[in-house]
């Protein structure tokens, strides 16, 4: 049973849908998902997996980037970057652990995150060991979800704890479509050197995604999915899928405590959408 689930249920939502079939399947599914998480972080932390899970939990630190995407969609490739987002004034304990226990070196003191994140970050640090990197993005007092909603594209808006995962705009992410955010466009506008959107954008680094500037690819009106509509993270709904496999590290509690509001686009450019200002001129 475990082998079949691992082989055929790559997408995490499909895998976790088995949890409600029976108590036995609930335990098996949770164990399979936990193994996938452990396998993803193992190259970065070695035998310190248990310690790392505990540290992420007590520091309310989230994993994003390629590791979170692999947890969501499955992959045979091993990520080279473990990207962490931690609350304001919680970074020092991570720095100490990464250097002293995991034996990484602090590199590139002039490193900067993607310009789209703007003023959502208080600090950004890179640690390296061999060909592996751990990045720590420390949020401002506005909170960690303000960092997520400042991402360059929707492909970057997948986050996880050791027992739960949240994916923004799952209907596009699961189809390997990434929609560019207005933060990305503003970063390009403010920059002297234009950054063109390609198959790999910002911290996404995911060539499997098709990056779109507008929702014209829908060939119909956006309706409730319109990127110009304001969202509240606490209202999970259709725009955020929150799932769990270990109650101890559930993502739902973090999401429900958040007061972050965001919109993906300042105005809609979909030619079919009623929220497009050109259609209301």
> If you average pLDDT over residues 185-193, what whole number do you get?
55
Angle between helices 66-73 and 23-45 (to 10 degrees): 150
Maximum distance among all Cα pairs of the chain, rounded to whole angstroms: 61
Is the pLDDT at 200 greater than 90? The verdict is no
| Residue 17 pLDDT level (bands cut at 50, 70, 90) | confident
268 is in which domain, residue-wise?
A: 2-280
CATH of the domain at 139: 3.30.460.10
Number of domains present in the structure of the chain = 1
| Residue 237 pLDDT level (bands cut at 50, 70, 90) | low
How far is 15 from 7, CA to CA, in rounded Å?
10
Is the pLDDT at 89 greater than 90? The verdict is yes
Is the pLDDT at 281 greater than 50? The verdict is yes
Is the pLDDT at 110 greater than 90? The verdict is no
Coil, strand or helix at 136: strand
| Residue 1 pLDDT level (bands cut at 50, 70, 90) | low
| Residue 201 pLDDT level (bands cut at 50, 70, 90) | very low
Up-side HSE of residue 280: CA atoms within 13 Å toward CB? 9
What's the Cα-to-Cα distance from 215 to each of 154, 192, 197, 211, 221, rounded to whole Å?
A: 12, 27, 15, 11, 8
What pLDDT sits at residue 88?
95
């Amino acid at each position: 049973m475990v082998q079949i689930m691992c082989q055929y249920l790559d997408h995490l939502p499909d895998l976790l849908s088995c949890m409600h079939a029976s108590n036995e399947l609930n335990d098996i599914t949770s164990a399979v998902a936990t193994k996938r998480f452990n396998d993803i972080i193992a190259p970065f932390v070695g035998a310190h997996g248990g310690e790392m899970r505990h540290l992420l939990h007590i520091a309310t630190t989230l994993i994003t980037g390629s590791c979170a995407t692999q947890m969501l969609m499955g992959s045979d490739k091993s990520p080279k970057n473990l990207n962490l987002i931690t609350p304001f004034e919680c970074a020092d304990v991570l720095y100490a652990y990464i250097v002293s226990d995991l034996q990484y070196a602090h590199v590139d003191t002039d490193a900067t995150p993607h310009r789209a994140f703007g003023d959502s970050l208080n600090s950004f640090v890179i640690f390296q060991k061999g060909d592996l990197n751990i990045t720590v993005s420390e949020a401002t007092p506005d909170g960690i979800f303000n960092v997520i909603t400042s991402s360059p594209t929707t492909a970057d808006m997948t986050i996880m704890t050791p027992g739960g995962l949240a994916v923004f705009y799952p209907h596009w992410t699961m189809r390997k479509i990434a929609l560019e955010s207005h933060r990305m466009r503003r970063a390009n506008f403010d920059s002297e050197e234009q950054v063109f959107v390609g198959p790999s954008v910002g911290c996404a680094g995911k060539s499997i995604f098709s990056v779109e500037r507008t929702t014209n690819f829908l060939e119909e009106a956006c309706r409730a999915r319109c990127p110009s509509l304001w969202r509240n993270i606490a209202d999970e709904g259709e725009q955020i899928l929150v799932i769990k496999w270990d109650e101890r590290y559930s993502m739902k509690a973090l999401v429900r405590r958040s007061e972050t509001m965001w919109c993906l686009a300042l105005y809609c450019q979909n030619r079919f959408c009623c929220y497009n200002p050109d259609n209301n001129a």
